[in-house]
Amino acid sequence: MTNWKAYRPLLLPPIRGLDRIEVYEQHGGYEALRRVLAEWTPARVIEEVKASGLRGRGGAGFSTGLKWSFMPPPDGRPRYLCVNGDESEPGTFKDRQILEFNPHLLIEGALIAAYAIQATAIYLYIRGEYADWIDRVEVALLQARERGYIGERVLGTDWSIAFYVHRGAGAYICGEESALMESIEGKRAYPRQKPPFPAQRGLWGRPTTINNVETLANVPLIIRHGAEWYNQIGAPKHPGPILYGISGHVNRPGVYELPSGMPIETLIYEVAGGIRGGKRLKAVIPGGSSTPPLRADQIAGVTMDAESLRAAGSMMGTAGMVVLDEDTDMVRVLVRIAEFYHHESCGQCTPCREGTGWLVKILRRIERGEGKPADLELLLEICNQMEGRTVCALADAAAWPVRHTIQRFREEFEARCRGSLFSVPEPIPSTSQ
């Protein structure tokens, strides 16, 4: 998108007071829900969301409408929608913007999704550290109940829905969908074996769908404007608005709403104001700490959508971009990332419980200048023994940054293993500089 400044935000529009229901309604709020309940069947809602091309914004990027279609037909017993607001990935801080500034958009999206899958209750799971945001959402839910959008016979129809907020206790693993359900059930948040998948056996053994906060906030836009309108925004195979969380060594860090498919160089040098202190770029972590970093010479022409990033050797993730300048110690960066995943491993699976610990021990040794060249191959072998061998993807998330950071910045690790004092090699400049 060449003229990004002309884009008008949809998820976080510059309207004051959208957290108040009367302001939200004045700007078309809950009209999509009214239309759906009055005119649409659940199957039509699912087909419209499928046609829009909306993909999950929580990291996996799976088709939202297709995910909804996995739910079996109603049988008169309970079925659930879980909204994942745990947001624990380092470098990711976009969902809380919706919770603070536009909570009714999320609530309306969740209600439409619940109608589409014929859920009987919605559980919004929010990490406990988001205390202020939880309070804001609970006020918004109270307002929605008073207006008749939640409860028995919503808006005079035969459809009823309950809506609950569940506070997490600060565990990263609860962002994994099955661990999230275990936590809601009051159990230790160990991820579940799959199959069965949540749509077949989820909360309390009943059919359940789990969607991210930002994903559901897109749903009212699709219903209000249509699937064809929506899939014209941004990248053709990954359409819609994206909340880009840009942090690190930039002049204007923050959350920016722009279409999907934005060039990484545009986001760094125009949207975020360039590298602070006029320094050169060294690396970008595109989608949160688990996504493989890209060197400065790898980002030319790469756009923020799943297909482009996959071709470049990374992933979209949560679009939480971490920008690193030429003075960054990549060994130290990797130590901090590895320490996080070691700390957050639930310990259920041996390859993850033991593997994350070994990664940290070896990386700390290298950081101290006590490592050996053979340690690099040992780290890569540990990654091979972790990836794809555990119940959930936390081991993969721990292994990917280790493998790719070593491969793409190997000269820096080799220098440290030779006992050299820290000296950053000359970065390869980005083509935009």
For the whole model, what pTM was predicted? 0.93
- Amino acid 416: pLDDT: 93
Task: Answer yes or no: do 312 and 201 share one domain.
Answer: no
Q: How many independent structural domains does the chain possess?
A: 3
The answer to whether 369 touches 202, Cβ cutoff 8 Å, is no
Give the domain-ending residue among 204, 230, 256.
230
Task: Answer yes or no: do 337 and 320 share one domain.
Answer: no
- Amino acid 59: pLDDT: 86
Which domain CATH number covers 390? 1.20.1440.230
- Amino acid 3: pLDDT: 79
Q: Measured between alpha carbons, how far is 177 from 86 in angstroms, rounded to an integer?
A: 10
Please provide the DSSP assignment of 128-165 as one string. TT-HHHHHHHHHHHHHHHHTTSSBSSGGGSS--BEEEE
Task: Answer yes or no: do 123 and 61 share one domain.
Answer: yes
What is the span of the domain harbouring residue 387? 330-417
The angle at the Cα of 370, spanning 369 to 372, to the nearest 5 degrees, equals 105
Question: What is the residue type of 416?
Answer: R
- Amino acid 92: pLDDT: 94
Task: Answer yes or no: do 35 and 167 share one domain.
Answer: yes
Give the domain-ending residue among 169, 203, 230.
230
Task: Answer yes or no: do 168 and 246 share one domain.
Answer: no
- 427 is a domain residue: no
Which domain CATH number covers 268? 3.10.20.600
Task: Answer yes or no: do 300 and 351 share one domain.
Answer: no
Q: Measured between alpha carbons, how far is 140 from 11 in angstroms, rounded to an integer?
A: 16
- Amino acid 425: pLDDT: 47
Task: Answer yes or no: do 219 and 263 share one domain.
Answer: no
Task: Answer yes or no: do 312 and 402 share one domain.
Answer: no
Number of H helices, E strands in the chain: 18, 11
pLDDT tens by residue, the chain, 433 residues: 557 889 999 999 999 999 999 999 999 999 999 999 999 999 999 999 999 999 999 988 999 999 999 999 999 999 999 999 999 999 999 999 999 999 999 999 999 999 999 999 999 999 999 999 999 999 999 999 999 999 999 999 999 999 999 999 889 999 999 999 999 999 999 999 999 999 999 999 999 999 999 999 999 999 999 999 999 999 999 999 999 999 999 999 999 999 999 999 999 999 999 999 999 999 999 999 999 999 999 999 999 999 999 999 999 999 999 999 999 999 999 999 999 999 999 999 999 999 999 999 999 999 999 999 999 999 999 999 999 999 999 999 999 999 999 999 999 999 999 865 444 445 445 544 4
Contacts 24+ apart (CB under 8 A), 16-21: 18/101, 18/102, 18/104, 18/105, 19/100, 19/101, 19/102, 19/103, 19/104, 19/136, 19/139, 19/140, 20/143, 21/104, 21/140, 21/143, 21/144, 21/147
Task: Answer yes or no: do 244 and 319 share one domain.
Answer: yes
Task: Answer yes or no: do 210 and 342 share one domain.
Answer: no
Task: Answer yes or no: do 257 and 212 share one domain.
Answer: no
- 175 is a domain residue: yes
